[in-house]
Every structure is written in C-alpha cells, then in structure tokens.
Amino acid sequence: MECSVTNGFGDSLDAPSAGEMLEFLKALPPDDAEHGAAWLTDASGNSLEFEVAGNLAFTSASGTRHLCRVSVERVVELWSLLASGDHAALEREPWQPGPRPPLSPDERRAHELRFAEFGRTQDRNFYDRLGVEDPSSPCRQPGCARGRVAQSTLCRVHHYENVLGKPCTFRD
C-alpha cells in the first residue's frame, strides 16, 4: 500500500521500510515539543502520529484516538500495520479517545501559564519592532497626542491595536 512518513521539520520519505521508519523516529529531537513528531500516512488519509513524549495518535474515518507511552519499536510495528493496510489489526489496539490523554488540573494550569507568557512575549516583540514614534508627525487616531511610527499613520499603541485587534497593554 502507498504510504509516506513525515516529521515536524517537513522531511519525508515515501514507502519506507521498517528499518527506515526506525531511523526516521530515532532522528527526532527528544526535547523539541514543536518538531519532535513524525507521522505515517497511507493513501486513504489514515495516519499514525508519534510524539517524542511517547504519545501515538491514530486518525482514521473513525476519528482520532491515542495510545500512551509507546516505544519507537512499537511505533514501527504499528506503522508497518498501517503501511501494509492491516486496519483490522490496528483497530484491535487499546486506543483511548482523543489525540492525547487529558491534562491534569495542574498540567492544564502550567500549560495555560506557559501559553499566556508566550503570548505576552510575542506581543511585546511585535510592539518593540514597530520602532520609535516621530513626535513631529502626530498619530491619526482622534485625541491621541503620540507621534506615528514609520510605515504607519498611527502611534505604536494604536498600530498594535489596529493590527492585533486587541487592547495594547504597553505605553512606553
């Protein structure tokens, strides 16, 4: 059956052998949550996505389900089943609902804090990249006494709000 394996960096390999699958998995960066994944997809669009933390998600017409703490050797076995078209054997696995296990309340809070901090950092970087305001050329926002930034008719605050569609918390 036609299939390909792809990783989080966009590298791919068509019709991989079991040995090539194993090498592909072993090349994943162990501490990179963003790029530390690889997935095998068949011609029908069914896929098995492995994350370096050990989660394996199976997406098919039946939805998305997962297994936890899966070794790379076991992933190769399951990828080989998908590659050979043995969907019945895949369906017999003890899949759990959803793409990954639900987070505990503490994990969820930690994730939300990391996500919020990342968002604040991204917002600040955008605001800073707008550059300095030119006080000799006023912002076009009615009632604003600040100067505009280069390539805009608005000051940093109003340009930020206009582009991102949310209030700006920065005033420097």
pTM of the model: 0.62
Domain boundary among 97, 120, 140: 97
In a domain, 50, yes or no: yes
For residue 35, the SS3 value is coil
> From CA 127, how far away is CA 145, in angstroms rounded?
18
Residue that is last in its domain, among 80, 97, 114 = 97
Question: E strands of 52-92, at which residues?
Answer: 56-60, 63-67
One domain, residues 9 and 76: yes
- Regarding beta strands 133-138 and 96-97, do their DSSP bridges make them parallel or antiparallel, or are they unpaired? unpaired
Tokens of 117: 């901090």
Q: Which pLDDT tens digit goes with each residue over 152-167? A: 999 999 999 999 999 9
Looking at the fold, whether 84 and 119 belong to one and the same domain comes out as no
* Overall number of domains in the chain: 2
57, 136: one domain: no
Please write the tens of the pLDDT for every residue from 38-66. 999 999 999 999 999 899 999 998 899 99
Model pLDDT for residues 109-136, shown as the tens digit of each residue: 998 999 999 999 999 999 999 999 999 9
Does 126 fall in a domain?
yes
Residue pair 111/102 in contact by the 8 Å Cβ criterion: no
Assess whether pLDDT exceeds 80 at residue 34. no
- The letter for the amino acid at 22 is L
Cα 78 from Cα 82, distance rounded (Å)? 6
Is the domain of 18 the same as that of 91? Answer: yes
Segments forming the whole domain that contains residue 159: 105-164
Residue 143, by phi and psi: left (phi above 0), alpha (psi -120 to 50) or beta?
Answer: left
The residues that bridge with 37 in the sheet, in sequence order, are: 51
Percent of the chain past pLDDT 90, that is, above it, reads 78
What DSSP state is assigned to residue 94? -
Residue 172 lies in a domain: no
